[in-house]
Structure 1
Amino acid sequence: MERLVSPAATRLQLVALTGPGTHVLVWGYVVTMAALALSSLDEVRSPWPTVHGVAIMVAVGVLLTLDRREPLGRATAVLVAIAWVAVALLVSWQLKEPGGHSQWFFGAGTVSLFFVGLRGRQLIAWLGFAALSAVVVVWAVSTGVSIPVVLVLVGKQSAILLVSSLFSFGLGRTSRSIVRLSEETSTRATIEAAQLATTAERNQRLAELDAIATPLLARLVGGQPLTAEDRLDFAVAEAQLRDGLRARALSVPDVADAARDARRRGVEVVLLDDLYPAEAPPEVLDVVRSRVVQALHSATDGRVVARLLPEGRDEVATILIDGERMQRRDVVLAG
């Protein structure tokens, strides 16, 4: 079955930096930097350090893509930081002159650490950037490159990482606000659902009470003398209302009709639900109701006691017929 994803879920996935949109962005950058690095091979003394550096960059892209944890796994973040320090050590002293695309690794490393910081590993990102910058500064000192020029380069790259820190901070606050609002909305929805369920239950009870009691009350206020038949109807109605309170799971039309007929025949009927508030599986409850109806139809005197048993037993219900002509105990098992 195809899984449907809402636009809101897609946007949140992108913000989390673990979605397809972010992966496309990461790999688009990897491909672009690989092209720039390979186009600068005439600016280095040996092409192989640059080629190996590109291979390490691809491996870093794979790590950032496969690790979907939030925050990013600590081991992954440390490996990314170490990888770019290694690339800087590998390529820097092969440069014929500073500047140009031959120093691609500094910008690529900073952007990788940008993603590391954005995914919750700010400290590792800044430590990695500090180590990467230290390599570049040492290279500049050892090769006679102007220190102010290198410091300006480091300052420009640090601005990228600073944006990561600021954005990560803002994103964290926004995420917490979204979670809080979501929890509040869920709580309100739960309360509203409970209120609706309570209202529906109350309306159903009132409808049942109206159907049972209103005709009888009309007889009482009518001023006519009460007959034995009227008194029997009152007793049967009272018992039916009591069933609705004590055995809600058994208060269905088939059982109610059978219980009313049995009571009019003089059978004492007791229905109990000691399983409440738990519920029996629907298929098991259907079996119980069916057997209760059969027992009520079979009884001609004495009493019938049908009881749903408390949770945690092998037996779900017992049905007892205790009369002069018939005595029987029926048990419904959970299985």
Structure 2
Amino acid sequence: MSGRTLAGFFRLDEWPGRVILALFTLSNTVNTLATLNAVRSPVAAVAALILATAGAVLLLLPTRSSRYPRAAAYAVVLIVVGLSLASWNLPASGWPGWASWNWFASTLLLIVLVLRGRVLAAWIGFALHVLLVFGWVAQAGRPLIQGVEFVVHHAVLLVVFTVFSSVLRRTMRSIAQVEQAHLELVSSRAWADAAAGAREERVARVTLAAGDLLEILSADTPLTDQHQRECLLAEATIRDVLRGGVLASDDVLAAARDARLRHVTVQLLDDGGPSRPDGGDLERMHEAACAALERADDGTLTIRRLPPGRPQLATIRLATAGRAERLDVPARTPQRDVAAT
């Protein structure tokens, strides 16, 4: 279970819970054995011991949900009712002493039920416990004030733990909200840093592609035909960097430049969103793009990374005057589909 619940906070379904179960069972066993001569039926006392142990085991079992199951909670309430019925096994007169261990065991079970988040069930169980204890007091002919004495200390314990659990739950919710806000802040900063890094990388690649030409343009000297061709190639490279995204590796940009020198119209399009493919997929896309660029001699070559969720990572289409060729780059197994028109 999650550490954000009280059961997870106190590690009730881990080794601390098992230690509590062992101590609870040991204490009840000692009290039972020590008072067998004081109760009306030793068999009933042993049965109450088994019932209390079963309740503790049920409460400390791990659950799939962060909330303790309602059916299990009311099963614990029934166990508390059974332990309260053991009051009729106590002496009809005198102070019951350690023989009344079943009352404290019932309260401990209900306290754990509160920590498990089933406060209403716990108080229903305690109300039934009080009714049964007062019923035994009345049947045994004891003064009703003794019934108050028998339950008041346990009621105070349950109130304290109910208030404590409520305050602690609110505190844990506040801590969780602060942690979530911190995580969101860290995530937003990470995204901002990643975006800034991507912008710096693009600026550096644009500068590399057009730096010399910018110096020539700023020198106010006449442009030659070669300069004009270089400007067109630089403009195309910048467009590849901006629109090509993860497709625009150095090798792909170099192959695209060479293809354009052969009069091939090249388009790099990254429609895959902000997610980045893993290294193997990215490498296969780059290899397929470079191979297609090196083969192309004319026409229009469009290399497009597809949105997530498609069976293909990318498509490569070469359209010429005589035919159209398509190459799909699947996420796992390369497969070529060629259609001639």
TM category (shorter chain) comes to 0.7 to 0.9
- Relative to structure 1, the CA distance from residue 286 to residue 70 in structure 2 (aligned partners, 3 Å threshold; closer, same or farther) is closer
1:145 is aligned with what amino acid?
A: R
Matched with 1:34 is: 29
Instruction: State how far apart, in whole Å, the 2-side matches of 1:170 and 1:149 are.
Output: 33
2:301 is aligned with what amino acid?
A: V
Deviation at 1:29, TM superposition (A): 2.0
Deviation at 1:310, TM superposition (A): 4.5
- Which of 16, 39, 43 pairs up with 1:21? 16
Matched with 2:315 is: 317
Deviation at 1:173, TM superposition (A): 1.0
The TM-score normalised by the length of structure 1 is 0.86
Matched with 1:81 is: 77
- Which of 111, 115, 120 pairs up with 1:118? 115
Matches within 5 A, 1:38-117: 38-68=33-63, 69-95=65-91, 97=93, 98-117=95-114
Deviation at 1:126, TM superposition (A): 1.5
Larger helix fraction of residues:
1
1:219 is aligned with what amino acid?
A: I
2:291 is aligned with what amino acid?
A: Q
Per-residue CA deviations over 1:252-306 (Å, capped at 9, x if unaligned) read 1111111212323x41332232633276665455334323323332344x33412
- Which of 170, 189, 207 pairs up with 2:204? 207
Whether 1:196 and 2:214 are equivalent positions in the alignment is no
Stretches of 4+ aligned residues off by more than 6 angstroms: 8-12, 278-281
Instruction: State how far apart, in whole Å, the 1-side matches of 2:25 and 2:103 are.
Output: 13
Specify every segment of 5 or more residues in structure 2 that has no aligned partner in the other structure, as ranges: 334-341
- Relative to structure 1, the CA distance from residue 100 to residue 232 in structure 2 (aligned partners, 3 Å threshold; closer, same or farther) is same
1:276 is aligned with what amino acid?
A: G
Deviation at 1:27, TM superposition (A): 3.0
- Relative to structure 1, the CA distance from residue 296 to residue 309 in structure 2 (aligned partners, 3 Å threshold; closer, same or farther) is closer
More deviation, 52-61/120-129: 120-129
- Relative to structure 1, the CA distance from residue 78 to residue 104 in structure 2 (aligned partners, 3 Å threshold; closer, same or farther) is same
Instruction: State how far apart, in whole Å, the 1-side matches of 2:104 and 2:183 are.
Output: 44
Whether 1:233 and 2:230 are equivalent positions in the alignment is yes
How many residues are paired up?
A: 324
- Relative to structure 1, the CA distance from residue 93 to residue 22 in structure 2 (aligned partners, 3 Å threshold; closer, same or farther) is closer
1:244 is aligned with what amino acid?
A: V
SS at match of 1:247: helix
Matches within 5 A, 1:278-297: 283-297=280-294
Instruction: State how far apart, in whole Å, the 1-side matches of 2:120 and 2:156 are.
Output: 16
Deviation at 1:104, TM superposition (A): 0.6
Whether 1:272 and 2:264 are equivalent positions in the alignment is no
What CA RMSD, in Å, does the superposition of the two structures yield over aligned residues? 2.8
Could you tell me whether the CA contact under 8 Å between 2:264 and 2:299 is conserved in 1? yes
SS at match of 2:33: helix
- Identity percentage of aligned residues: 27
1:60 is aligned with what amino acid?
A: G
SS at match of 1:42: coil
Instruction: State how far apart, in whole Å, the 2-side matches of 1:258 and 1:67 are.
Output: 60
The TM-score normalised by the length of structure 2 is 0.84
Instruction: State how far apart, in whole Å, the 2-side matches of 1:227 and 1:313 are.
Output: 46
Could you tell me whether the CA contact under 8 Å between 1:23 and 1:65 is conserved in 2? yes
Matched with 2:129 is: 132
Instruction: State how far apart, in whole Å, the 1-side matches of 2:266 and 2:84 are.
Output: 86
